[in-house]
């Protein structure tokens, strides 16, 4: 029998930082940035220091990689090559922003994280799932989110929102993919949620922003009852 290429069991150590790490995931225009901001405001009202960040990006080096990736400059590398660059951006983001913030007791609210690589480069992009899984273990290690909010929306509605917001600006690398790509993305995110129900909670993103924010706040309070007492804020 061949020895495994890497030996990193799922039971790898949990991280020890005191802050909480919450990610938002979903297709284009699902409302992740809007809800990340609203959640951070809610947390601050409840007396918790919250930092909003995003991927790709969140640190100067990762933002430079974001510009290249969203301009399509890495598309010729193929989906796994792109995944490696998203991973490089993620390593810098974790090392320079996420881990230090969590270590200082802040909560980090991140607009997209490793589930986006699974969905965009893995399921929809068709990079080999075992390579994507291996990359995630190397890049993310124990820095897995405590909670992920999946904003689920019909892809045509999400793309229409993104286009309406973007005006005449050119669509980016992934917005420009065929509808079938975005349909595959939605299925991939729902599959991740089905496999990891304790971490990933689905919220209907077709509702009004305030209603979505209320539902997310209920989920967050329920997820961290020792910190956020019922009825807080």
Identify the DSSP state of 19. S
Q: Name which of 31 and 228 has its Cβ closer to ligand T5A.
A: 31
**Contact status: 72 vs ligand T5A (CB under 6 A):** no
Backbone angles phi, psi at 142, to 5 degrees: -80, 0
Compute CA distances 106 → 20, 98, 103, 127, 223, whole Å.
7, 9, 7, 34, 17
Pick 155 or 228: Cβ nearer ligand T5A: 155
What mask of x and - would describe binding to ligand T5A in positions 99 to 118, judged by CB under 6 A?
Answer: ------------xx---xx-
| Among 17, 19, 20, 30, contact with ligand T5A (rule: CB under 6 A) | 30
CA distance 154 to 152: 7
Q: Binding residue for ligand T5A (CB under 6 A) from 19, 20, 21, 31?
A: 31
The minimum distance between CB 229 and ligand T5A, in angstroms, equals 28
Are the CB atoms for 153 and 192 separated by under 8 Å?
A: no
Rounded Cα distance between 185 and 161, Å, is 17
Contact status: 162 vs ligand T5A (CB under 6 A): yes
Whether 155 contacts 179, CB under 8 Å: yes
Which contacts (CB < 8 Å, 24+ apart) does range 221-226 have? 223/146, 223/147, 224/20, 224/146, 224/147
53 binds ligand T5A (CB under 6 A): no
| 161 touches ligand T5A (CB under 6 A) | yes
Question: Rounded to the nearest whole angstrom, what is the least distance from the CB of residue 154 to ligand T5A in the complex?
Answer: 12
**Binding site residues, ligand T5A, CB under 6 A:** 26, 28-34, 55-56, 70, 86, 111-112, 116-117, 120-121, 161-162, 165, 174, 208-209, 212
């Amino acid at each position: 029998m061949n020895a495994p290429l890497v030996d990193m069991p799922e039971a790898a150590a949990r991280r020890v930082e005191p802050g909480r790490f919450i990610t938002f995931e979903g297709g284009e225009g699902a409302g992740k940035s809007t809800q990340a901001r609203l959640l951070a405001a809610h947390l601050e009202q409840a007396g918790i220091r919250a930092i909003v960040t995003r991927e790709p990006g969140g640190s100067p080096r990762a933002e430079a990689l974001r510009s290249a990736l969203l301009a399509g400059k890495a598309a010729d590398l193929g989906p796994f090559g792109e995944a490696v660059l998203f991973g490089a951006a993620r390593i810098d983001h974790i090392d320079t922003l996420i881990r230090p913030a969590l270590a200082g007791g802040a909560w980090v609210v991140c607009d997209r994280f490793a589930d986006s690589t699974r969905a965009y480069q893995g399921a929809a992009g068709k990079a080999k799932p075992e390579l994507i899984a291996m990359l995630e273990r190397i890049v993310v290690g124990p820095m897995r989110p405590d909670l992920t909010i999946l904003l689920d929306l019909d892809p045509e509605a999400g793309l229409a929102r993104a286009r309406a917001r973007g005006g005449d600006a050119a669509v980016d690398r992934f917005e420009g993919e065929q509808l079938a790509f975005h349909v595959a993305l939605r299925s991939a995110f729902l599959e991740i949620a089905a496999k990891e129900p304790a971490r990933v909670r689905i919220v209907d993103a077709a509702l009004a922003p305030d209603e979505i924010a209320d539902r997310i706040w209920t989920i967050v309070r329920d997820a961290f009852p020792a910190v956020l007492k019922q009825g807080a804020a």
